[in-house]
Amino acid sequence: MTDASEQSATEPDLIDELLAGKHRALARVITKIENRSPGYRELVSRLHEHTGDAQVVGITGSPGAGKSTLVDKMANAYREQGLTVGVIAIDPSSPFTGGAVLGDRIRMASNVGDMDVFFRSMSARGSLGGLSTATTDAVKALDAFGKDRIIVETVGAGQNEVDIVRTADTVAVLVPPSSGDDVQMLKAGILEIGDVFLVNKADLDGANRTVMELQEMVRMREDSPRFDPGHHGAEAVPDAASNGEDGGESEDDWEPPVLEAVAKTGEGVDEFLDTLDTHHEWLEATGKLEELARERYAEEIRALLREDVNRLVGTELRNRGGIESYVDSVLAKETDPYAVADDLLEPLAECVEERRGE
């Protein structure tokens, strides 16, 4: 664990500067978060009490759907409304450095120079769905800074994109016009997480067909007996309280709309943003916004526990000379992988049992 005093002794006013609205401090905090620099945990802990005001929108979809173009137009439209914007774009990780492969690409072209649009390209770091714990922490930094809208654009890696639900209040899935193959692929997992579906590049051939296919798939999703609408795909058996006495749809349900847009020209973007706001209002009115927050914090705690336990076990393994000797013993049939795991975890288990007995 990091000594909290280390950070406070070297940069006692970094968080104060961030809370005062200094973008340089925000950038430095996010850099420390992404690099997992000494003291970053204390930084995030100090930010936590200042979070909870921003609306967080996730933009996902297959590569080529036009996510970056849409995010650019969204930021521009939000600025016209007088809102401040933070954007985190999750890019593929370099297999050599772990950094963002596309981190230096030119993006957010129409918002260059606008200090009220903060853009950050971050590495997926190999995590499922292209999101890492660092992304969650970076969202907290933007929220504490005071950004009104935070947009998380994911790498578009397929079924594992479901990870985005742990960060966003509203998830929008972009689908380009196609022969239908892309829509069919949504059955693999992305379909279940969408709160809004947007057929981008709607001026191209096949857009109408794609819209109809999506609408049909959404209806099929809503007809699933174990699907809980508006919960980012969380499964729950419906009852009278959530679906009406006759088992049908109630006012507490959210049926994901299927919209059309041409992000390149801005056509349909305003309607899309209105729908995002409507969904957020629905989350607040039904109490589901708090439910999402509870789910996110629970998953965040689990993720941090996994991360910390992995680090502790890794240290123990190195102290015992590394994994190779254990592998040799397993190959020689002197032991087995389960026994090795039990042996390595024994000190941790003993500590936990001792603390429990106090």
From CA 48, how far away is CA 301, in angstroms rounded? 14
* Same-domain check for residues 115 and 82: yes
From CA 255, how far away is CA 88, in angstroms rounded? 27
Q: Do residues 66 and 264 make contact, with C-beta atoms less than 8 angstroms apart?
A: yes
From CA 175, how far away is CA 173, in angstroms rounded? 7
* Same-domain check for residues 91 and 20: no
* Same-domain check for residues 213 and 340: no
Q: Do residues 200 and 261 make contact, with C-beta atoms less than 8 angstroms apart?
A: yes
* Same-domain check for residues 190 and 242: yes
DSSP class of residue 335? S
* Same-domain check for residues 270 and 330: no
Residue 238: inside a domain: yes
Q: Do residues 90 and 154 make contact, with C-beta atoms less than 8 angstroms apart?
A: yes
Residue 184: inside a domain: yes
Write the DSSP assignment of 205-262 as a string of letters: TTHHHHHHHHHHHHHHHHT-TTB-TTSTT-B----HHHH-TTSS--TT-----EEE-B
* Same-domain check for residues 321 and 275: no
- Which helix (H) or strand (E) covers residue 327, if one does? helix 324-331
Residue 178: inside a domain: yes
Which of 192, 164, 195 lies closest to 283 in space, CA to CA?
Answer: 195
Segments of the chain with pLDDT less than 50: 1-10, 94-107, 128-130, 226-227, 233-249
Lookup result for tokens 């039904």: 286
CATH of the domain at 179: 3.40.50.300
Q: Do residues 276 and 218 make contact, with C-beta atoms less than 8 angstroms apart?
A: no
Token readout for 181 is 């193959």
What is the predicted pLDDT for the residue at 191? 74
Domain's final residue, options 286, 321, 347: 286
184: helix, coil or strand? helix
Residue 291: inside a domain: no
pTM of the model: 0.82
Nearby residues of 65 by Cβ (< 8 Å), 6 or more positions away = 156, 174, 175, 176, 200, 201
Per the structure, the count of domains in the chain is 3
* Same-domain check for residues 186 and 268: yes
Write the DSSP assignment of 51-108 as a string of letters: -S-SEEEEEEE-TTS-HHHHHHHHHHHHHHTT--EEEEEEEPBPTTT-SBTTTTS---
Residue 169: inside a domain: yes
What is the predicted pLDDT for the residue at 176? 85
Burial class (CB in 10 A: 0-12, 13-18, 19+), 301: exposed
* Same-domain check for residues 152 and 18: no
Write the DSSP assignment of 262-308 as a string of letters: BTTTTBTHHHHHHHHHHHHHHHHHHTHHHHHHHHHHHHHHHHHHHHH
* Same-domain check for residues 307 and 282: no
What per-residue string of b and e applies to 161-178 under the rule 16 or more CB within 10 Å gives b? bbbbbbbbbbbbbbbbbb
What is the predicted pLDDT for the residue at 4? 47
Domain's final residue, options 48, 63, 80: 48
Residue 324: inside a domain: yes
Residue 298: inside a domain: no
* Same-domain check for residues 28 and 163: no
Residue 296: inside a domain: no
Q: Do residues 199 and 214 make contact, with C-beta atoms less than 8 angstroms apart?
A: yes
In the chain, the amino acid numbered 241 is A
From CA 230, how far away is CA 192, in angstroms rounded? 10
* Same-domain check for residues 22 and 90: no
Q: Which domain holds residue 12?
A: 1-48
What is the predicted pLDDT for the residue at 185? 62
* Same-domain check for residues 130 and 275: yes
Q: What are phi and psi of 115, to 5 degrees?
A: -70, -15
